[in-house]
Chains A and B, each alone.
Chain A
Amino acid sequence: MGVATVAVFSEADSNAMHVGLADESYCIGPALLKNSYLNMSAILTIAVASKAEAIHPGYGLLSENAKFASLCEQCGITFIGPSSDTISKMGDKNEARITMKNAGVPVIPGSEIIKDLPQAKFEALNIGYPVMLKARAGGGGRGIRIVRNESELELAFMSATAEARSAFGDGEVYMEKYLFPVKHIEVQVICDKHGNIVCLGERECSVQRKNQKIIEESPSSSITPKIRKAMNEAARKAAKSVNYEGVGTIEFLLDKDKNFYFMEMNTRLQVEHPVTEMVTGIDLVKWQIRAAAGLELDFNEENTPIRGHAIECRINAEDPMDGFRPSCGKISLLHFPGGPWVRFDTAVYQDYVVPPFYDSLIGKLIVHAKTREEAIRKMRAALCELVVEGIHTNTDLHLSILSDIEFFSGAYTTDFLTRKDFK
Chain B
Amino acid sequence: MFTKDLFKKPKNELESSSKDKKAPAVCIPEELCISCPSCKKPHFKTDVNESSGICPSCGHYFKIGARARIDIIADKKSFIEHDKKLTSTNIIAFPEYDDKIDKAKKESKESEAVITGVCSISGYACAIFVMEPRFIMGSMGRIVGEKITRLFEFATKKGLPVVGYTVSGGARMQEGILSLLQMAKVSGAVKNHSDAGNLYVTVLTNPTTGGVTASFAMLGDIIIAEPNALIGFAGPRVIEQTMRQKLPQNFQKAEYLLETGFIDGIVDRREQKEYLRKVLKIHGGKV
Contact = CB atoms under 8 A, between A and B. Distances in A.
A17 to B, nearest CB: 6
A67 B47 CA distance: 10
B33 A20 contact: no
A346 to B, nearest CB: 14
A20 B2 contact: yes
A329 interface: no
A2 B23 contact: no
A54 B23 contact: yes
A171 B229 CA distance: 34
Nearest to A41: B42
Given A53-B26, A74-B32, A76-B26, A293 B18 contact: yes
A378 B44 CA distance: 51
Given A23-B9, A41-B33, A1 B15 contact: yes
B27 interface: yes
B14 A1 contact: yes
Interface string A44-81: 00011001011000000000000100010011111000
Given A2-B15, A41-B33, A41-B44, A51 B26 contact: yes
A290 interface: yes
A245 B259 CA distance: 60
B18 A71 contact: no
Contact of B21 (A15, A293, A351): A293
B2 A15 contact: yes
A74 B29 contact: yes
Contacts of B4: 19-20, 25
Nearest to A75: B28
Contacts of A19: 2, 4
A75 B30 CA distance: 10
A78 B24 contact: yes
A416 interface: no
Contact of A2 (B13, B21, B25): B13
B241 interface: no
Nearest to A16: B2
A41 B46 CA distance: 12
Interface in A348-368: 349, 351
Given A75-B26, A75-B27, A2 B12 contact: yes
Nearest to A24: B4
A19 B17 CA distance: 28
A40 interface: yes
Contacts of B2: 15, 17, 19-20, 349
Contact of A48 (B15, B17, B28, B44): B28
B158 to A, nearest CB: 36
B44 A294 contact: no
A282 to B, nearest CB: 16
A295 interface: yes
Q: Which of the listed residues B25, B26, B42, B46 has the most CB atoms from chain A within 10 Å of its own CB?
A: B26
A48 B32 CA distance: 13
B32 A75 contact: yes
B238 interface: no
B17 A295 contact: yes
A41 B41 CA distance: 10
A359 to B, nearest CB: 20
Nearest to B16: A2
Contacts of A405: none
B6 interface: yes
A168 to B, nearest CB: 15
A41 B48 CA distance: 14
Nearest to B4: A20
Contact of B18 (A1, A15, A74): A1
Contacts of A71: 32, 44
Interface string A327-360: 0000000000000000000000101000000000
Nearest to B33: A41
Contact of B7 (A20, A53, A67): A20
A3 B14 CA distance: 6
Contacts of A295: 17-18, 21
Contacts of B43: 41
Interface in A13-29: 15, 17, 19-21, 23, 25
Contacts of B28: 48, 75-76
Q: Which 9 pairs from chain A and chain B are nearest by CB?
A: A53-B23, A2-B14, A2-B12, A20-B2, A76-B26, A76-B27, A76-B24, A2-B13, A293-B21
Given A15-B1, A290-B15, 19 more contacts: A1-B12, A2-B13, A3-B15, A20-B4, A20-B6, A23-B9, A41-B33, A41-B42, A51-B26, A53-B23, A53-B24, A74-B29, A75-B26, A76-B24, A76-B28, A77-B26, A293-B18, A295-B18, A349-B2
23 contacts: A1-B14, A1-B18, A2-B13, A3-B14, A3-B18, A15-B1, A20-B3, A41-B33, A41-B42, A41-B43, A47-B26, A48-B28, A51-B26, A54-B23, A67-B46, A71-B44, A75-B26, A77-B26, A78-B23, A78-B24, A290-B18, A293-B18, A294-B21
Interface of B: 1-4, 6-7, 9, 12-15, 17-18, 21, 23-29, 32-33, 42-44, 46
